[in-house]
Amino acid sequence: MDSGKNILNSVSKRSHEHEFYTPMPKGYEKGKTKYVVVTGSVISGLGKGIFASALGLLLENHGLSVSPIKFDGYLNVDAGTLNPFRHGEVFVLNDGTECDMDLGTYERFLHKDLTKSNYMTAGKLFKSLLERERKGGFLGRDVQIIPHVTGEIKRFIRKLSMEAKADVVLIEIGGTVGDLENGYFIEAMRELAYEEGDENVCFVNLTYILNPKTLGEQKSKAAQLGIRALMGMGIMPDIIACRAGEPVGEKIREKISIFSNVPIERVISLHDVPTIYMVPVLLNKEGIGDAVIKRLGLKDRVDPQAAKEKFVKWEEFVSKIMNGGKTVTIGMAGKYTGLADSYASILKALEHAGAHCGAKVKVKWIETSDIEKGAISVDEVLKGIDGLIVAPGFGARGVEGKIECVRYVRENKIPFLGICYGLQMAVIEHARNVLGLEGANSTEVEPECKHPVIDVMPEQKKIHGLGGNMRLGIYPATLKEGTKVFELYGKKDVTERHRHRWEVNPKYIEKIEMGGLVFSGQSPDRRLMEFIERTDHPYFVATQAHPEFKSRPLKPAPLFMGLIKAAVERKKG
C-alpha cells in the first residue's frame, strides 16, 4: 500500500509540471530585439540570403543594428566537409567557422564580420542538444522535438541577439517550406512569435512564380500552394516577395494578396536583375525597408534622412558595376569550374575591384584537369587573357595543369594572383622551372617527392582527424616594406583568413628566394610564408590566405585591386 501511495504522489507531482521549455539567456529582455524570419516556398535556391542581406542593408542604413543567422537543415555540423559541386564554396569566418556561402553574402552587404553564432546546422543543433542530455541538462525529461529542439533553436537566436546587441535579427531558414528537414525550424519560429509577441516578429516568404514556355504567361498556383503550406504550419506572412525571371504582373500579385491576406503593396516583384547588388535598390523602391520598420514598431530608432544619404554610396557602386569601362578577361584556373558557386567569393571580389577600377571583368573558366590530361594546350586555353587567378583547392587532381598555367603567365608576363593552393603551385613551378629542382612538389600530391617544397608543418603532423590540422580563420602577417604587397595594403601588419593544411617548407625558404621570387609577407614569428611576389614581373602575387573572404563592395580586397589594375594596364598596352 505504501509503495502505491508513493507512485500516486509521484504522478500527482508530475501532473503539476508544465509543458513549456523556453530557455532564456540571462538578462534577455523581450521586445528589445525584433526578428525578421525569411522562408522560401515552391523551390529552393530562390535567393533568400540575397533578399535578407539586401533588407539588412536597408535597415542598417536607417541606423539599426542588424545581425543575421542562417539555419541549414543538413546533419553536417558545419560546411567544412561539403563538396563544392554539391553545396557551393565553403565560406570561412574570422573565428574559423566553415559555413554556408550565404554568410559571405551577409558580410558583403552588411559590411561586418560574423561569427559562429550567426550560423546553425541541424548537426550543430542536435550535437549540442545531445551533449546536454548526456550531462543531465534536461532533468530527466523525455527530450522531444517540441518543446526541446525548438527551445534550443530559440535559445540560440536569443543568445545571438544579446551578443550582437542587435535591434533586428534576420533569420534565414534554408530549404523550402514542406521539407522535413526544416519543419522544426519553422515550428520554432511560430513559437518565437507566440512568445515574443506579434509586434516583435515579421515573417517574409520568398515564393516562385512559374512561367511555362508552353503557356507563355505567369502562373501563381504553385506559389499559392506553397504559401498555404506555410500558413498550415501556423505562420501568416507579412511580406511576400515573388521571384521570377521577368517582373511579376499586377494580376498575379493580386491573386497572391487575396490568397495570403497580405496587402497588395507588400506583395512585391523580385525579378531577375543584372547584378545582386541591385536588389537593395529594388527593395528600396518598393518601400520594403520602411514596411518592416513600421511593422516592427522601430520608427523611434531610425533616421530616414541618414538612410537616404548612406544609400547614395550604394547606388554609386551599383552604377559603376552597370556602367563599367573596358572589359578585361581574367582566367580562373581550377578544378571546380563546372559550378560558378564553387568560387563565389572570388567572383564577387573581382566584381568589387572591377567597379572601383572602372572595368568590367569577364571570367574565362579554365579546367586544369583538361590541361593535365592533354585534352587542350595551355597556350591555347590562356590565349587572350589579361590576367590569371589560380584558385584554391585540395588534392592532386588538376595540379599539373595549374603548374603549367603558372609557368605560362610567368614567362609571358601576364598579371597573376595565386590564392592559397595557387601560392603553393607558384612555389612548385618556381622550384622546378627557375631553380631546376627536378621532382619538386607538395607532399599533399606526392608524399615521397624528391624536393618537398610544400609540406605539412611538423607540429601539424601530430594532429589527426579531417580539419583538425587546418589553419582556419584569421591570422596576422607582417609585410616586407618596398614590396608590391606592402604598397597594395598600405601598411606593415595585416590580417587575412585562412583555410589550408600545407605550408612552404622552411628547409627550402632560402633556396626558393632566388631567381626573382620574394617572400613579401610572413607570419609574425617568421615561420610561415604568407605572401610571395616576383621582382621580374609586372604583377605576380600570391598569398597563402583567402583575401576574397574579406572583400566588400565598398572596400575591395587589395590583391584583387592590384590584379585588375595590372590587367587594365596590360589591356591598354
Question: Residue 395: exposed, middle, or buried by beta-carbon count in 10 A (0-12, 13-18, 19+)?
Answer: exposed
| Of residues 393, 390, 392, 384, the one with CA closest to residue 404 | 390
Render the burial of 163-178: b for 16+ CB within 10 Å, e for the rest.
ebebbbbbbbbbbbbb
How close are the terminal C-alpha atoms of the chain, in Å? 101
Using the Cα atoms of residue 414, residue 416, residue 422 and residue 427 in order, give the sign of their dihedral: positive
Question: Grid coordinates 572583400 are at which residue?
Answer: 551
Task: Indicate which residue of 62, 356, 451, 546 is catalytic.
Answer: 546
Question: Grid coordinates 507531482 are at which residue?
Answer: 13
3-state secondary structure string, 143-162?
A: CCHHHHHHHHHHHHHHHHHH
Task: Indicate which residue of 351, 420, 430, 503 is catalytic.
Answer: 420
User: How distant, in Å, are the alpha carbons of 98, 357, 435, 516 from that of 424?
Assistant: 22, 28, 15, 16
Give 417's strand partners: 389, 541
| Of residues 195, 188, 177, the one with CA closest to residue 149 | 188
Q: Which helix (H) or strand (E) holds 318?
A: helix 304-322
Provide the angle, in degrees to the nearest 10, between the axes of the packed helices 122-134 and 150-163. Answer: 100
Task: Indicate which residue of 107, 351, 503, 548 is catalytic.
Answer: 548
Alpha carbons within 13 A on the beta-carbon side of 9: 6
Give 343's strand partners: none
Ramachandran assignment for 451, one of left (phi > 0), alpha (psi -120 to 50 degrees), beta (any other): beta
Q: Which three cell numbers stand for residue 353?
A: 575591384
Answer whether 535's CB lies under 8 Å from 516's CB: yes
Is 352 known to be catalytic? no
Q: Which helix (H) or strand (E) holds 327?
A: strand 327-334
Is 202 known to be catalytic? no
Q: Quickly count: other Cβ atoms within 10 Å of residue 372's Cβ.
A: 19
Answer whether 45's CB lies under 8 Å from 147's CB: no
Answer whether 293's CB lies under 8 Å from 299's CB: yes
Q: Quickly count: other Cβ atoms within 10 Å of residue 92's Cβ.
A: 25
Q: Which three cell numbers stand for residue 322?
A: 552597370
- State the alpha helices, DSSP H only, in 490-541: 509-512
| Of residues 478, 64, 485, the one with CA closest to residue 296 | 64
Is 357 known to be catalytic? no
| Of residues 563, 549, 506, the one with CA closest to residue 420 | 549
Q: Which three cell numbers stand for residue 172?
A: 534565414
Answer whether 290's CB lies under 8 Å from 202's CB: no
Active centre residues (catalytic): 420, 546, 548
